[in-house]
């Protein structure tokens, strides 16, 4: 998947919807409307992917951790490997956890 495809999939998953009238993405969070003109850069911004990680249920968090370590091809499965994961690795693991990852053709 391209970065653009990855970012769009995650953007939709966390609840952003396209507003055709306003030509922007929007989500309501804690009573506030958040807008974006393009999907957030989950693959390159750790703050963005952190927001997405926070939407995972407890069960999915465990599965995500396992997927992240697999994506990283970690030789040792520990905290250091997890905290050094890139945004791209986290985004891939996120979509793999949700079974929304598509292999490149």
- State pTM to two decimals: 0.89
pLDDT for 20 beyond 90: yes
State the number of CA atoms in the 13 A half-sphere of 94 facing the CB: 29
Structure confidence at residue 75 (pLDDT): 72
Give the 3-state secondary structure of residue 77: coil
Structure confidence at residue 38 (pLDDT): 94
Q: Which residues of 74-90 are buried (b: 16+ CB within 10 A; e: fewer)?
A: eeeeeeebeeebebebb
pLDDT category at 65 given cuts 50, 70, 90 is: very high
Token pair for residue 85?
A: 């994961």
Given a contact cutoff of 8 angstroms between Cβ atoms, the answer to whether 97 and 55 are in contact is no
Task: Provide the percentage of residues in the chain whose pLDDT is more than 90.
Answer: 81
pLDDT category at 21 given cuts 50, 70, 90 is: very high
């Amino acid at each position: 998947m391209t970065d653009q495809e990855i970012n769009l999939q995650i953007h939709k998953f966390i609840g952003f919807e396209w507003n055709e009238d306003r030509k922007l993405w929007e989500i309501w969070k804690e009573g506030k409307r958040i807008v974006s003109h393009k999907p957030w850069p989950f693959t390159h911004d750790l703050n963005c992917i952190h927001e997405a990680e926070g939407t995972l249920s407890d069960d999915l968090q465990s599965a995500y951790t396992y997927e992240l370590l697999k994506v990283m091809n970690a030789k040792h499965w520990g905290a250091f490997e997890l905290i050094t994961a890139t945004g791209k690795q986290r985004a891939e693991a996120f979509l793999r956890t949700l079974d929304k990852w598509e292999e490149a053709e």
